[in-house]
C-alpha cells in the first residue's frame, strides 16, 4: 500500500523548508502539498468560518512532480480541505513543517505548525509537527529525514493512528546532532512588547513583538533537549484541562451556583 502523506506548514507554500520536507518524503510515499498562500505563523488551530476559501493548484512548472495546492486560508483550513474535500479518504498521515523557528513549551498553543497537525489528529490521522530552532534555518535535511522515518513507522503499523508528535530540531547538520530525547513541554513566559506608531492620519498603530522568552529548563523538557543539541520529540494530546485545580473549583462551585441565582 502506498502511504499518502499530506504536507503542510504555516510559513506558506513558498517556504523552502516545506519543499525540502516534501522532496524527502516523496522518495518513499505519495505526497500532496496543501499549504497557505502566505505566512500564517502564530495562527494556532484557527479555521476560517467567516469567508470563503479559494484553492489554487500550482502548475507543474512550479511544483515539479508534486501535486501542490495553495490555499487562501489557515494551516487548519489546509488540513480540513485536504482530508474532507480535495483527497477524500486519501490521506493517511499529516506532516507539518519544517517550521522556520522552534515551537517549544507553551508555544504549541499558538503555533500554526502544531495547529495544522492538531487538525490531522482530530481527523484521526497520525500527525507530526516539525520545527527547526532558527528563524532562518540552514539545516533542513535532519528534519526532512526524520519525518520520512516517522511516516515509515506509520506505514509499518508501529505507531498508533491516534498520535500527535511535536518535534523540534536544533539547526545543526546531522553530524552535529547528539541524539533524540522524548520530552514534555517546558514552561515558557514571554514579555511581549507593544510598539506604538502613528499613521498618516494620526491614528495609533501597534505591533506586538515577542521579547526574549524566559525558560524553565528542567531536565526532560523540550527546551532542555534542544539546548543539548538534541532533537526533542513531545507526544501531545488535545486535552488541556487542568487536573490541578479541579478539587478547589468543585468545592467552590455549589456556592457559585447559589450566588448566581441570588446575586442582587
Ligand atoms: Mn511559522
For residue 261, is it within any domain? no
d(CA 36, CA 211): 27
For residue 191, is it within any domain? no
What pLDDT score does 180 carry?
A: 98
Distance from the alpha carbon of residue 82 to the mean position of ligand 1, in angstroms? 20
pLDDT at 62 over 90: no
Distance from the alpha carbon of residue 259 to the mean position of ligand 1, in angstroms? 45
Distance from the alpha carbon of residue 112 to the mean position of ligand 1, in angstroms? 7
Averaged pLDDT for residues 161-187: 96
Per-residue pLDDT band at 211 (split at 50, 70, 90): confident
Per-residue pLDDT band at 190 (split at 50, 70, 90): confident
Distance from the alpha carbon of residue 114 to the mean position of ligand 1, in angstroms? 10
For residue 49, is it within any domain? yes
Averaged pLDDT for residues 69-80: 97
Domain count, the chain: 1
What pLDDT score does 188 carry?
A: 75
φ/ψ (deg, to 5) at 178: -95, -10
d(CA 113, CA 201): 37
pLDDT tens-place string over residues 193-208: 899 999 999 999 999 8
Residue 100: all three cell numbers together: 522556520
Q: 3-class SS at 152?
A: helix
Distance from the alpha carbon of residue 199 to the mean position of ligand 1, in angstroms? 28
pLDDT tens-place string over residues 23-54: 999 999 999 999 999 999 989 999 999 999 99
d(CA 260, CA 22): 55
Averaged pLDDT for residues 57-62: 85
Range of the domain at 113: 4-186+216-245
What pLDDT score does 121 carry?
A: 98
Question: Are the C-beta atoms of residues 185 and 168 closer than 8 Å to each other?
Answer: no
pLDDT at 251 over 80: yes
pLDDT tens-place string over residues 235-249: 999 998 888 999 999
φ/ψ (deg, to 5) at 237: -135, 170
What pLDDT score does 11 carry?
A: 97
What pLDDT score does 88 carry?
A: 85
Distance from the alpha carbon of residue 86 to the mean position of ligand 1, in angstroms? 24
Averaged pLDDT for residues 5-11: 98
Per-residue pLDDT band at 209 (split at 50, 70, 90): confident
Distance from the alpha carbon of residue 13 to the mean position of ligand 1, in angstroms? 11
pLDDT tens-place string over residues 113-155: 999 999 999 999 999 999 999 999 999 999 999 999 999 999 9
As a whole number, the mean pLDDT across the chain is 94
pLDDT at 63 over 90: no
CATH number for 9: 3.40.1210.10
Q: What pTM, to 2 d.p., does this model score?
A: 0.93
For helices 16-25 and 141-155, give the axis angle rounded to 10 degrees.
40
What pLDDT score does 5 carry?
A: 97
For residue 170, is it within any domain? yes
For residue 205, is it within any domain? no
What pLDDT score does 64 carry?
A: 78
For residue 211, is it within any domain? no
For residue 210, is it within any domain? no
Distance from the alpha carbon of residue 180 to the mean position of ligand 1, in angstroms? 22
pLDDT at 189 over 80: no
For residue 207, is it within any domain? no
What pLDDT score does 143 carry?
A: 98
Amino acid at each position: 500500500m502506498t502511504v499518502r502523506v499530506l504536507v503542510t506548514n504555516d510559513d506558506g507554500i513558498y517556504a523552502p523548508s516545506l519543499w525540502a520536507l516534501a522532496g524527502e518524503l516523496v522518495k518513499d510515499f505519495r505526497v500532496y502539498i496543501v499549504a497557505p498562500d502566505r505566512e500564517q505563523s502564530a495562527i494556532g488551530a484557527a479555521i476560517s468560518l467567516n469567508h470563503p476559501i479559494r484553492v489554487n493548484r500550482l502548475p507543474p512548472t512550479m511544483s515539479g512532480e508534486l501535486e501542490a495546492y495553495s490555499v487562501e486560508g489557515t494551516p487548519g483550513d489546509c488540513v480540513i480541505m485536504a482530508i474532507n474535500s480535495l483527497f477524500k479518504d486519501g490521506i493517511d498521515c499529516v506532516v507539518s513543517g519544517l517550521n522556520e523557528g522552534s515551537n517549544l513549551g507553551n508555544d504549541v498553543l499558538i503555533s500554526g505548525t502544531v495547529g495544522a497537525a492538531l487538525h490531522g489528529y482530530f481527523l484521526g490521522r497520525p500527525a507530526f509537527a516539525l520545527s527547526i530552532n532558527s528563524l532562518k534555518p540552514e539545516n533542513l535535511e535532519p528534519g526532512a529525514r526524520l519525518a520520512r522515518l516517522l511516516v515509515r513507522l506509520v506505514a509499518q503499523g508501529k505507531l498508533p493512528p491516534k498520535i500527535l508528535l511535536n518535534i523540534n530540531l536544533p539547526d545543526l547538520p546531522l553530524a552535529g546532532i547528539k541524539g533524540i530525547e522524548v520530552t514534555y513541554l517546558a514552561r515558557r513566559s514571554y514579555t511581549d512588547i507593544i510598539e506604538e506608531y502613528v499613521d498618516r492620519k494620526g491614528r495609533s498603530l501597534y505591533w506586538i513583538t515577542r521579547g526574549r522568552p524566559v525558560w524553565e529548563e528542567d531536565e526532560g523538557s523540550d527546551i532542555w533537549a534542544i539546548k543539548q543539541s538534541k532533537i526533542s520529540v513531545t507526544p501531545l494530546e488535545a486535552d488541556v484541562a487542568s487536573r490541578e485545580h479541579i478539587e478547589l473549583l468543585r468545592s467552590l462551585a455549589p456556592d457559585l451556583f447559589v450566588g448566581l441565582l441570588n446575586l442582587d
